[in-house]
Chain A
C-alpha cells in the first residue's frame, strides 16, 4: 500500500499541513511516553534481555599497535572452567563501520591496525569466566616492519586529500589578505573526542534456523542489518535487529562494531545465544573516535568589517583506507560571506582507532574554532562581535550562489543578546573581578547543516479509533517516540493517549535511523505522509476533500457534518506506509539550522580554572515538533559544548598510539557541577524546503559553536586567548596577569 504521492522531496511542500490541523498536539512540550520506564529502570536495554541459555563473550584486545597475529594459544584457555570457545574469525571486524555505510568495514582480526584492536572473542558460561579467560589468552604477534605514525603531526604520517571532501576555492584569498583593512591568520587545535554514550555497545545474538536475530544497541537499524549481513556474507533479509531502547549513541553506534559481529559468529559456532557487552574501557579503545584537528583560519575584512576573504583549512586524521575525514569546514561554506575563499580538509594516515562521526561531525569542532577566530577578528576590527556576525551574513551561499531555505541567525543573535544581557559586557578584557575570579562574556553563532534522508513508516488507524505508528527508527534517548506520536496525533486528529508508537525493530518499515540530526524530520515526514494517505481514505468515506477534512479528538467533520472515526472505519483498519526520499530541495537550497550562544565564565585569577557561570542559547530550526524534547536536545548540546571547551580530550600515547584515559574517571565529560543555569530560546520558524513537516534538524545544533562562545568569554574575562581546546588550566595559567597586582 505504497503512497501514491511522489516520495522524492523535489519541491518544497508549501501546504504546511501541520499548521492546518486541529488537534493542537504538534509542538507541545509533551512528556516522552517511555520516560517513566526509563527513570524507573524498567525499559529493557539490549544487554538486559533474558534470552534462554545465553552465554557470554568477552573481546580480547591487541597488546601491540601494528602487526599480524602469529599464534593464538587457545588450548590453555579452553581448559579453563566454563570456557566454550576462542574465536578469531576472518569475518570479525577490525574497525567500526562508518555511519550509513551499509556494508562491512575492514575485516579479519588476524591483522592489527591499531593498539587495542580486538583480535579474538572468548566465550564462556559466565561473564566472569569469559573475562578471566580473555585476560589469560596469550597471543603471539609478528610486529609490523613498516614504520607507522601514531601522531597526526608526525613526519611519518602520510597526508592525503580525502576523496569525498572537495576543497572550496573562490577568488584569491592571498590577495584579499594582503589588501585587507583588518585580518587575522590563526591556528587552532582541537583534541580527539570519545562519543561517551551512557550505554556501552552491547549485543545479544541468536540464530533461528538461518535467520540471525540481534538485540543490540545501534542507531541506524536499516543500515545495520546490511552491515552485519555483509560481514557474514548472508542476505540482509535474514537478519533482524531489535533495539527499542538505545542508551545514547553520539555517532558511535551509527554503524555496527566489533561486539555485534563477534556475537553473531559465536552464536552460530556454538549454536547458542551469545551476549557480548563491551567494557567502558573497550568502548573508548576500539569504537569511533572524533579526529583531533589542526585548523588554520584566515579572515580578511574591508574597513567596515565586511569579510572579503575567508580561509579555513583543517588537518585531521584517520586510519589508512578510511574515507571519512572530519568535515571541519562544512558550516564555514555557507555561514559567512567573503567571495575570496579557500576551505579544505586534509587527512593524515595514522594508527589509532577508526575516526568517524561523533556528536555533530564537522561543525562541533569546526564551528568552535571559526567562532573563536571571529571573536579575534571582532577585536582586530574593533567592533562588537555580535555586530560583526550580523554584518557578514551573505544573501546567497558564497561561490555556489545557492539561496538559503531559511535562516534565523540574526533573530537568534538579537533575542539571545537581549535575554542574556549582552549589553552589560565590557569589550576590553580584565574589567570584572569578583574575589579571586575574573568574569567575562562571549558569543558565538550556531550552525549545523540540515539533512533529509530516506525513511519509511507505517501508520495504522485502527477500527477502534486508535493509531499505531511503526518504524525501525531508533529512539536513542532523544524523544523520537514522543514526536512521532505527536505528528500522527496531529494529522489524524487524535489525542496523544490514542497513539501508540512502536520503534526499533527491522521487521517494521525502515526509518532514517538516528544520526546527523535527521531522524526526526525524515522518519517524521514518512509518518506524516502515511497519515496523509489515511486522511485521503477517510475523506472518501466522508465524501469530502482531504485538505478540508477536520479531525479532532477522533471526530471528523466536513461541511457541517460530523462523524466519529470509529463510525467511518466501520470495523476496518486503514494501514498506510509513508516514505520520503531526499530530492532536489537539498540541492536547490542551502539548508541549515542556526542559533547563537552567549556564555558567561569565571576564570580563577590564580589557578586558571575556568567555570561556566551561565549560558543562553537561541535556536531556529524550523518547526518545533515538541518544545520539551527540542529544548532537551539544545541543553544536551550546550553541555557537550562545555565539555568540548573545557574538559574533554582523548589523551594518546604518541609512542604506540594507545589511549591513556579510557574511562569516565579520566576522560572528563562535564558533571553536574560544571553545568550552570542554561537557558534555551526556541525560535518559531517554518521551512518548507527542509521537509514537509517544515522542520529542520535540532539534535546536534546545541553543540555547534558553543565551545567558541566559552573560549571567547575566557578571553574577555582574563585576556587570555587559548588556541588549543580544551581550555584546561595549564594552558591558561602561564598567560594570566599577576593575581595580586590585578586584584580589585
Chain B
C-alpha cells in the first residue's frame, strides 16, 4: 500500500469539495482497501464518507430513498425494505458475509469492481487494470466470466447481488457532482466494457452517489435466486432476480434481472415480453431463456453458464408463478 492522506467529510458538500480536489471516496472500504493493498488503486488522498450524512433510509413519496452510506446489513434489516421490496433484502443477504455486510455500503456496493482473478493479479495482462495490456482471462481460466455483453477487450462480470435486485426494481441512482445533480436509472449506471473496460460505470470524476431511490412497491412475488459454488460466501455463478404478478393464471407483469451472467447487471425487456400475458409452462420458460441467451458466448470454462442460466431462469419462474398463483 502506498502512503495516503485520509480526511473525513462532515457533510455531503464537504465530501464533494474533497472529491473536487482529487480525493477518492472511501465508504466501507471492503473493496477499495484490497485494491490499495495490491496497488491496483493508488489514491494519494482518501475522503471517508462515513460522517457525511448519507446514512439514512427515508420514505420518498411512495418509494424509498436509501442513503449511499446505509450499510448492506442495515438495508437488508430495514422493515420497509423487507416488507415492500423483499427482493432487495434477499439479494443483499445472499451476498458476502455478515462481517462484510456490516461494513459494505449501498454506494460502495454499486461501485465494487470485478472479481476476475487476472484483474487482481498484477503479473497478468488486464485491460481493465492496465488499459492496452490485453485480457489474460479470455483464453485463461474464465469460469466466473460473462457470457453476455462481453467485448474483445474484457469479459469480466460486475459480480454483485444488490444491484441485480435494484435493476429488477427499477431503482434510480442519485448523484451530485461538479456538474450538479443527476438521476441515473440503474439500467444505465453500469457500463459494458466495450473498448474502455477500465471504466465500470457512468460516474464522472468528482461525482458522488448520494442515494438510491426505489419506486413504489409493485406488490409482486419477489425472488432472488443465487446459484453459486457453495451455500454461502461465494459470488454468484448466475443469479436471477424476479418481481412478478400473476393474474388469472397468466403472467401479468414481470421484471427480470440477471447477475454474473453479463458484464453488467443484465435486463432484457424482450425476455419479459415473451412472458407477459402468457400462462406459465416449461415451454414458455425455455422460450424466454432462448431469447435471453441468443447472443450468449462462452469462453471455455464458462460455457456452462449458458445452460445454467436457462435452468436457473426456469426454476425461478416456476417458483414465482406457483407462489403467485397461491
Contacts and interface: CB of A to CB of B under 8 A. Distances in A.
A671 B230 contact: yes
Q: Is the interface of B mostly helix, strand, loop or mixed?
A: loop
Interface in B1-42: 1-3, 37, 39
A666 B117 contact: yes
Contacts of A653: 136, 140-141
Contacts of A740: 282, 314, 318
B311 A606 contact: yes
Given A658-B121, A734-B307, A729 B115 contact: no
Given A135-B39, A660-B117, A647 B229 contact: yes
Nearest to A741: B282
Interface string B295-320: 00000000010011001101100110
In this complex, the interface size class of chain A, counting residues with CB under 8 Å from chain B, is: 35 or more
A647 B311 contact: no
A436 B223 CA distance: 15
Nearest to A676: B231
B235 to A, nearest CB: 8
A580 B233 CA distance: 46
Contacts of B234: 665, 668
B308 A733 contact: yes
Interface in A605-621: 605-609, 611
B143 A611 contact: no
A652 B143 CA distance: 12
A132 B39 CA distance: 8
Nearest to B281: A740
A666 B237 CA distance: 12
B117 A607 contact: no
Interface string B215-241: 000000000000111111111010000
B258 interface: no
A672 B233 CA distance: 9
B231 A658 contact: no
Interface in A33-92: 61, 63
A164 interface: no
Given A658-B121, A729-B308, A647 B39 contact: no
Contacts of B3: 128, 132
B201 interface: no
The CB with the most chain B CB atoms within 10 A, among A604, A646, A658, is that of A658
B99 interface: no
B231 A611 contact: yes
A674 interface: yes
A651 B143 contact: yes
B311 A660 contact: no
B227 A733 contact: no
A671 B121 CA distance: 25
B239 to A, nearest CB: 11
A673 B230 contact: yes
B140 A674 contact: no
Contacts of B143: 651, 730
A730 B304 contact: yes
A131 interface: yes
A665 B319 CA distance: 30
A656 to B, nearest CB: 9
Contact of A668 (B230, B308, B319): B230
Interface in B82-124: 115, 117-118, 121-124
Interface string B129-151: 00000001001110100000000
Given A607-B227, A674-B231, A660 B312 contact: no
A655 interface: yes
B231 A606 contact: no
B141 A651 contact: yes
Interface string A650-683: 0111010010111001101011111000000000
A739 interface: yes
Interface string A417-441: 0000000000000000000100000
A729 to B, nearest CB: 7
B178 to A, nearest CB: 32
Contacts of B136: 653
B124 A658 contact: yes
Contacts of B312: 606-607
Interface string A123-144: 0000010011001000000000
5 contacts: A606-B318, A607-B312, A607-B315, A647-B230, A652-B141
Interface of B: 1-3, 37, 39, 115, 117-118, 121-124, 136, 139-141, 143, 227-235, 237, 282, 304, 307-308, 311-312, 314-315, 318-319
Interface of A: 61, 63, 115-116, 128, 131-132, 135, 436, 604-609, 611, 646-647, 651-653, 655, 658, 660-662, 665-666, 668, 670-674, 728-730, 733-734, 739-740
Given A436-B318, A729-B229, 7 more contacts: A115-B123, A132-B3, A666-B115, A668-B230, A671-B231, A733-B308, A739-B314
Q: Across the A-B interface, give the 6 residue pairs with the lowest CB-CB distance, nearest first.
A: A673-B231, A730-B304, A606-B315, A673-B232, A740-B282, A63-B123
